[in-house]
C-alpha cells in the first residue's frame, strides 16, 4: 500500500469512526475495511493514535478526574414516564481506566493487553496484546488462544503452560489495557444496532449508546441475552431502590433486549413524585405508591381514585378506594391513572362528589343544606345511572334517586360524600362504598327475571319510585316478546304480589323486591308457598322456572324457619297416589261387602279401621330441597300445582303405629330408635317389630338393617312407624295384605307430614 493511499484510508477510517461515535447508527465496519485491517495490522494503532489525539484536542482533562465516565452529548427531549430521562446523554468515547480493579470473571476481548511477569528460574516481562484471532504470542512458547475466557481461567492456563516449560518459575498475569466491548442493543430503543462500548459498562449504562427509549419501552422487562441464556433486568430496582444485583457488567457479544409494554399508570395528586410509572400485573396499590416515593403529608389515604378501561376496552371507568383496604389490582387489567386526593379544609369544600360527572370534586353545602338543591349544580354525563346514588359519612348512609326528588331530601353536613354511578358499573364493587352503604344497596336491589330467548336473572340497583318500563329500558329488554299483562312485582316486606300490565306497573323501592317478565311463547304455572317464608301465597311463574327461581320470589326465609326441612309436594304425584288409594279402596270395599254378607263383622271392622281416617293423600317428593342446596334447586323445574312448605324450627319427633303411646315427643340429641320405642310405651302385641321404619324429615325412609337389627339415630322432625303384623289376622286379611299395606303407608306418610306442619 502506498503512503498516499494509506493516508487516505486512515483518514477515511478516522472520519468514519468519529461519525459512527457521534451518530445514532450502528458502528459496523464494512467487510472490505476489516479485511484490509487484517492484512495491515499497523493501521489499527495508527487509527487509535488519531482517535486519542482527537479526544485530547476536544477534551480538557482535569488532574485527578476519573475519565471512566464518558464525555456526553446531552439529549434535550423530556419524558413524562418515570426513568425515561435516565438516559440523559449519548457517549462520544469508549475510554477506560487501567487503574480500576478488574474482577476475576472479566472476559478477555480482542485488543486487550496483558502483562506477564516471570520470576525465579526464568526472569522476563512481556506486554502481549490479544490479536484479531483471539490469541497472544507468548515468546518462546507460541500462540495461546484466550479470547472470551475469564481472567481467572487465563491465569490458570498460562501458569500451567509456564509450569511445563520452565523449571522453578513463577508467573504473574494482569491486565494492562482493556479494549472496548461489542454489544447489540435491540427492541424498544431509539436506535437499535451494534455498538462498541466502554469495557466497564453495565446493563444500565450501555443503554445510553442506543439514544434513549421509545415511548412504549418497558424499563422493567429488559433482558440480557448471553450464551443462550436470558437474564432479566428491572431498571426500577436500580432507579427506585438502588438495587444493582442484576445490573451486570456487559460481556463481549451480549445482546440487550428492551421489550415493549402498555402497562403505564399516571400517579398524581398528594404523592411525593408524580409521574407516569410502569406497573406489573401482580403489583399492589402499595407497590405503586412506593414507586412514587410515598404519600405527602396532606395525602388522604382513604380517598384514592383509580381510572381504568373496562374489559372491552371501550369505556373509561373510575373507582374510589382506600389504601388501608388492601386493594387487589390484579383484577384491574387496564390501569390508566391513580390519583391521591388531599385532606381539605371543610371551610373550603364541605362535601365531595364523585362519579360520571364533568365537574366531580368538592362542593360547598347549599344554604338549604338539602341534597336536592346541590344536584342542579352538577353536570352529569350521559352514562350516569339515574336510579341510585349514595350519601355517606362514617356510619351514616342514605340512598337517593335522580328520578325521584322526594328521595333527595337529605340534609348534608361537612365531609359528607356523595357517590353517583355509571349505567355499566357493578355498583356493589365500588371501592368507595362503606359497609353500611353496601348493605343498604343490597337490600334495595330489585331482582329482575327477564323475558328473552335465554332466560336471565339480574339485579337492578334502584331507590325511590320506578316503573317496569324503566327496567325494560335500562336492560334493553325487547318488550315485543313480553306478555304485557303477566308482569309480576313482589314486595316481601309488604306481603304484596301484583300481576299487571308492564306499561302501567309502577312501584316504590322496598327491601328484597322482585320483578318478573313473561315471554309470549312461555306457558304459565301456579305454585303455592306456605310456612316460614317472607312471602306466602300463590305465585305465577314461567313454565321453565326452577325451584331456585321460586325461592328468589319468596323474599327469603324468616328467622323462625327450619332451613334444613322442606316439604315439597307435586300435584301429579298426589293424583297418582290418590288413584292407587281409590283402586285399593274399591277392592277392599268389594271384599268387605262379601264379609258382611257372610256375617264376619269382626274382620270387616278391622279392615275398615285401616283406612277410615285417611282423609288426605299426600304428593310429597322426598329429597333435600332446602334453600342452601343451590345445585339441586337450580336444576329442579317446577310444575303447575306444586307446593312448597317451610316449617318452623322443629324440636320434636313422633312415634305412630303399634305402640302404646302414639304421640309427639320433645327431641334431644341422645334419642335413638330403641329409646324412642321405650318412651312411647313399647310395642303392642301385634306390632311387626322387624318392619319398623323411620320417615326422615326430608321424606326418606330408613330401616334398621343387619343380622342384629342395628340401632339407628333419631333426628328432629323424624316420624317412627311401627306397623301391625298381618300374620295375626285371618287368611282373608293376609290375602288383602298388599292393599292394606298401601293404605297404611299412605296414612303413615300423611301423619308424618301432619307432624311437620303442626
Taking only the tens place, the pLDDT of each residue in 707-756 is 666 788 999 989 999 988 766 555 555 555 566 666 677 777 777 777 77
How would you classify the pairing of strands 255-260 and 181-187? Answer: parallel
Question: What residues contact 664, with CB distance under 8 A and at least 6 apart?
Answer: 652, 653, 654, 755, 758
Count of residues making up the chain:
758
Query: What's residue 77's pLDDT?
Result: 39
Mean of all residue pLDDT scores within the chain: 78
601 sits in which H/E element: helix 601-611
Q: Which residues pair with 419 in a beta bridge?
A: 354, 390
Rg of the Cα atoms in the chain: 45
| Cα 268 to Cα 288: distance, rounded to the nearest angstrom | 11
Question: How far is CA 384 from each of CA 89, 379, 592, rounded to the nearest angstrom?
Answer: 49, 10, 78
Query: What's residue 196's pLDDT?
Result: 81
454 sits in which H/E element: none
Question: What residues contact 391, with CB distance under 8 A and at least 6 apart?
Answer: 371, 397, 398, 400, 410, 412, 416, 417, 418, 419
C-alpha dihedral sign at 66, 72, 75, 76: positive
Mean pLDDT for 236-248 is: 86
Question: What residues contact 582, with CB distance under 8 A and at least 6 apart?
Answer: none
CB 516 within 8 A of CB 545: no
Q: At what angle do helices 601-611 and 737-757 cross, to 10 degrees?
A: 40
In this structure, of 218-227, 280-289, 679-688, 736-745, the range with the lowest mean pLDDT score is 736-745
| Cα 398 to Cα 600: distance, rounded to the nearest angstrom | 80
> What pLDDT band is residue 60 in, cutting at 50, 70 and 90?
very low
CB 17 within 8 A of CB 56: no
Question: How far is CA 734 from each of CA 592, 600, 607, 725, 738, rounded to the nearest angstrom?
Answer: 14, 15, 11, 10, 8
C-alpha dihedral sign at 340, 345, 348, 354: positive
Closest CA to 490 of 556, 426, 437: 556
Question: What residues contact 321, with CB distance under 8 A and at least 6 apart?
Answer: 285, 304, 305, 306, 327, 431, 432
Question: What residues contact 30, with CB distance under 8 A and at least 6 apart?
Answer: none
pTM above 0.85, yes or no: no
Q: Grid cell 305454585 — which residue?
A: 527
Statement: residue 575 has pLDDT above 90: no
Statement: residue 203 has pLDDT above 80: yes
In this structure, of 134-138, 227-231, 612-616, the range with the lowest mean pLDDT score is 612-616
In this structure, of 13-17, 28-32, 655-659, the range with the lowest mean pLDDT score is 13-17
How do residues 597-617 score in pLDDT, each as one tens digit?
Answer: 665 554 555 555 554 445 678
Q: Which residues pair with 316 in a beta bridge?
A: 309
Mean pLDDT for 127-132 is: 88
Amino acid at each position: 500500500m502506498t503512503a498516499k493511499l494509506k493516508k487516505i484510508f486512515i483518514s477515511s477510517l478516522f472520519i468514519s469512526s468519529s461519525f459512527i461515535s457521534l451518530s445514532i447508527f450502528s458502528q459496523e465496519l464494512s467487510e472490505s475495511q476489516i479485511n484490509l485491517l487484517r492484512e495491515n495490522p499497523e493501521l489499527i494503532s495508527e487509527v487509535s493514535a488519531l482517535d486519542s489525539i482527537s479526544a485530547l484536542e476536544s477534551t480538557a482533562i482535569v488532574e485527578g478526574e476519573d475519565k471512566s465516565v464518558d464525555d456526553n452529548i446531552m439529549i434535550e427531549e423530556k419524558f413524562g414516564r418515570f426513568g425515561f430521562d435516565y438516559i440523559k446523554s449519548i457517549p462520544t468515547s469508549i475510554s477506560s481506566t487501567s487503574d480500576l480493579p478488574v474482577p476475576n470473571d472479566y472476559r478477555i476481548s480482542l485488543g486487550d493487553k496483558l502483562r506477564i511477569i516471570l520470576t525465579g528460574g526464568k526472569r522476563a516481562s512481556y506486554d502481549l496484546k490479544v490479536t484479531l484471532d483471539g490469541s497472544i504470542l507468548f515468546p518462546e512458547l507460541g500462540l495461546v488462544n484466550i479470547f472470551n475466557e475469564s481472567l481467572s481461567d487465563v491465569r490458570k492456563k498460562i501458569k500451567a503452560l509456564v509450569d511445563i516449560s520452565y523449571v522453578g518459575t513463577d508467573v504473574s498475569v494482569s491486565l494492562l489495557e482493556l479494549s472496548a466491548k461489542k454489544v447489540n442493543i435491540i427492541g424498544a430503543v431509539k436506535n437499535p444496532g451494534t455498538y462498541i462500548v466502554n469495557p466497564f459498562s453495565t446493563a444500565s449504562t450501555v443503554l445510553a449508546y442506543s439514544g434513549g427509549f421509545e415511548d412504549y419501552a418497558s424499563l422493567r422487562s429488559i433482558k440480557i441475552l448471553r450464551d443462550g441464556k436470558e437474564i432479566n433486568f428491572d431498571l426500577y430496582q436500580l432507579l427506585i431502590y438502588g438495587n444493582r444485583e442484576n445490573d451486570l457488567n456487559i460481556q463481549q457479544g451480549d445482546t440487550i433486549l428492551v421489550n415493549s409494554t402498555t402497562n403505564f399508570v399516571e400517579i398524581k395528586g398528594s404523592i411525593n413524585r408524580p409521574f407516569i410509572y410502569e406497573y406489573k400485573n401482580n403489583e399492589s396499590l402499595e407497590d405503586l405508591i412506593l414507586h412514587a416515593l410515598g404519600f405527602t403529608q396532606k395525602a388522604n389515604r382513604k380517598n384514592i381514585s383509580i381510572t381504568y378501561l373496562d374489559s372491552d376496552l371501550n369505556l373509561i371507568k373510575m373507582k374510589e378506594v382506600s389504601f388501608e383496604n388492601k386493594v387487589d389490582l390484579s383484577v384491574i387489567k387496564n390501569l390508566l391513572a391513580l390519583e391521591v386526593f388531599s385532606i381539605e379544609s371543610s371551610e373550603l369544600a364541605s362535601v365531595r362528589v364523585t362519579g360520571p360527572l364533568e365537574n366531580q370534586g368538592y362542593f360547598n353545602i347549599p344554604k338549604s343544606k338539602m341534597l336536592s338543591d346541590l344536584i342542579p349544580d352538577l353536570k352529569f354525563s350521559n352514562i350516569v345511572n339515574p336510579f341510585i346514588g349514595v350519601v355517606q359519612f362514617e356510619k351514616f348512609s342514605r340512598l337517593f334517586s335522580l328520578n325521584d326528588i322526594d328521595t333527595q331530601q337529605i340534609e348534608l353536613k361537612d365531609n359528607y360524600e356523595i357517590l353517583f354511578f355509571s349505567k355499566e358499573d357493578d355498583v356493589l364493587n365500588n371501592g368507595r362504598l362503606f359497609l353500611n352503604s353496601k348493605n343498604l344497596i343490597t337490600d334495595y336491589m330489585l331482582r329482575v327475571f327477564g323475558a328473552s330467548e335465554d332466560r336471565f336473572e339480574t339485579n337492578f340497583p334502584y331507590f325511590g319510585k320506578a316503573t317496569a318500563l324503566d327496567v325494560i329500558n335500562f336492560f334493553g329488554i325487547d318488550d315485543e316478546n313480553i306478555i304485557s299483562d303477566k308482569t309480576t312485582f313482589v314486595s316481601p316486606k309488604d306481603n304484596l304480589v301484583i300481576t299487571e300490565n308492564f306499561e302501567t306497573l309502577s312501584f316504590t323501592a322496598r327491601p328484597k323486591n322482585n320483578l318478573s317478565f313473561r315471554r309470549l311463547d312461555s306457558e304459565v304455572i301456579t305454585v303455592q308457598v306456605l310456612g316460614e317464608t317472607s312471602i306466602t301465597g300463590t305465585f305465577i311463574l314461567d313454565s321453565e322456572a326452577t325451584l331456585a327461581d321460586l325461592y328468589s320470589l319468596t323474599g327469603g326465609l324468616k328467622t323462625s324457619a327450619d332451613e334444613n326441612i322442606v316439604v315439597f309436594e307435586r300435584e301429579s304425584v298426589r293424583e297418582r297416589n290418590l288413584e292407587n288409594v281409590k283402586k285399593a279402596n274399591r277392592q277392599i270395599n268389594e271384599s268387605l261387602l262379601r264379609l258382611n254378607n257372610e256375617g264376619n263383622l269382626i274382620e270387616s271392622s278391622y279392615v275398615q279401621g285401616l283406612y277410615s281416617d285417611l282423609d288426605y293423600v299426600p304428593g310429597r317428593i322426598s329429597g333435600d330441597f332446602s334453600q342452601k342446596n343451590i345445585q339441586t334447586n337450580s336444576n329442579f323445574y317446577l310444575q303447575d300445582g306444586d307446593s312448597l312448605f317451610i316449617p318452623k324450627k322443629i324440636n320434636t319427633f313422633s312415634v305412630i303405629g303399634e305402640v302404646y303411646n302414639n304421640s309427639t315427643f320433645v327431641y334431644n340429641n341422645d334419642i335413638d330408635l330403641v329409646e324412642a320405642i321405650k318412651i312411647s310405651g313399647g310395642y303392642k302385641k301385634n306390632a311387626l317389630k322387624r318392619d319398623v321404619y323411620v320417615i326422615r324429615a326430608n321424606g326418606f325412609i330408613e330401616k334398621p338393617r343387619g343380622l342384629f337389627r342395628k340401632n339407628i339415630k333419631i333426628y328432629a322432625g323424624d316420624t317412627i312407624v311401627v306397623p301391625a303384623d298381618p300374620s295375626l289376622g285371618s287368611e282373608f286379611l293376609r290375602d288383602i295384605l298388599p292393599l292394606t299395606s298401601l293404605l297404611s303407608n299412605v296414612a303413615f306418610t300423611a301423619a308424618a307430614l301432619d307432624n311437620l306442619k303442626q
